[in-house]
Amino acid sequence: MAKFSPSDLAQVLSKLPTQPTNESVLVGYDLADDAGVFRLREDVALVQTVDFFTPVADDPFIYGQVAAINSLNDIYAMGAVPITALSIVCYPQKEDLEVLGEILRGGQSAMNEAGVVILGGHTVDDAEIKIGYSVTGLVEPARVITNAQAKPGDLLILTKPIGTGVISTGIKRDIASEGAVGAAMKAMTTSAAAASAEMQKAGAHACTDITGFGLLGHAFELARASNVTLTIESARVPLLPDVLDLIAQGMLTRGDKNNRKYVGDTVKFGEEISREMQSALFDPQTAGGLLISIDHAKAEDLVKRIDGAVIIGSVQTKSNYLIQVI
């Protein structure tokens, strides 16, 4: 799905008039976090997000699952618990409605498994299929985890391998292997609920989920919001099967160029980092993993508690670059 590039979106948002100050807004869009947070009472805050996109799987049920999990993960990235959702459906009225039913069944399955109730939604006739959800969650105000509190000395944990954008392109061009497709579908249908609960227990300082801006795009936002520099060890970053080979064959999305432009000259690559690996780090993800910043003394234990999680880098005092890839 062609989206606004992050730099274009930032340009549009920067020209909007300043909203009236509201002390109940704990997280707005100014720091590009994963969801908005609004305090209702001293002991409870509302967390809200929305996302939708074109099909990323041939199986309509799986596509629906991925659409739901992608939106749910924004809530989990804030350390919150999702409670309700509204569906967003753009679907050609002339197409098979049984397929739409399967998509929505997949989405409802993922939502219900997370304890979320779908209250309704909105449907429009559109030439291109797009499905997604607006999700609402709850969290104690004091327990909100944002992208703005990473601290020098922290270690960075990534909870899923990357490369879904590249593999999705490979699927469209019919060159992705069964192994790569299967691994990508498994990654995209794995919820961040368990990882979120564990990072809350461990006392994570900051978190963001890795989606359309790629690992480096979202890492850039975390570094900028926290006023720190992130060092990412490329050899530690987990990749889905065949990702570098697919990149070498040109299986890139528009997101590669857009995400590079967004991060700009705030990232420094070591001379030994291949162009293929650079593209993997910029690859836009769907329902990607969480990038967690946590005290170094707690990182190893947290990795043991989250299936598939790995330490991929560290946080330093801000330098000339927001991200260093070594």
| CA atoms of 140 and 33, how far apart (whole Å) | 17
Phi and psi (nearest 5°) for 302? -65, -40
Query: Domain check: are 66 and 129 in the same one?
Result: yes
Residue 54: CB atoms within 10 Å: 16
| CA atoms of 263 and 223, how far apart (whole Å) | 11
Is there a contact between 198 and 159 (Cβ–Cβ < 8 Å)?
A: no
CATH label of the domain that carries residue 276: 3.90.650.10
Query: Domain check: are 219 and 252 in the same one?
Result: yes
Residue where a domain terminates, one of 143, 169, 189? 143
Query: Domain check: are 294 and 214 in the same one?
Result: yes
The rounded radius of gyration (Å) of the Cα atoms in the chain is 19
Estimate to the nearest angstrom the gap between the alpha carbon of 68 and the chain centroid: 13
Residue 127: CB atoms within 10 Å: 9
Query: Domain check: are 46 and 131 in the same one?
Result: yes
Q: Is the C-alpha dihedral spanning 135, 141, 145, 149 positive or negative?
A: positive
Q: Is residue 287 in a domain?
A: yes
Q: Which residues of the chain, if any, have pLDDT below 70?
A: 1-5
Q: What pLDDT digit, counting tens, does each position of 141-155 carry?
A: 999 999 999 999 999
Q: What pLDDT digit, counting tens, does each position of 244-261 carry?
A: 999 999 999 889 999 999
Residue where a domain terminates, one of 94, 117, 143? 143
Q: Is residue 240 in a domain?
A: yes
Q: Is residue 277 in a domain?
A: yes
Query: Domain check: are 32 and 54 in the same one?
Result: yes
Q: What pLDDT digit, counting tens, does each position of 3-34 carry?
A: 566 777 777 877 888 888 899 999 998 888 99
CB-neighbour burial class of residue 55 (10 A; exposed 0-12, middle 13-18, buried 19+): buried
Q: What total of structural domains would you count in the chain?
A: 2
Q: Name the residue range of residue 229's domain.
A: 154-325
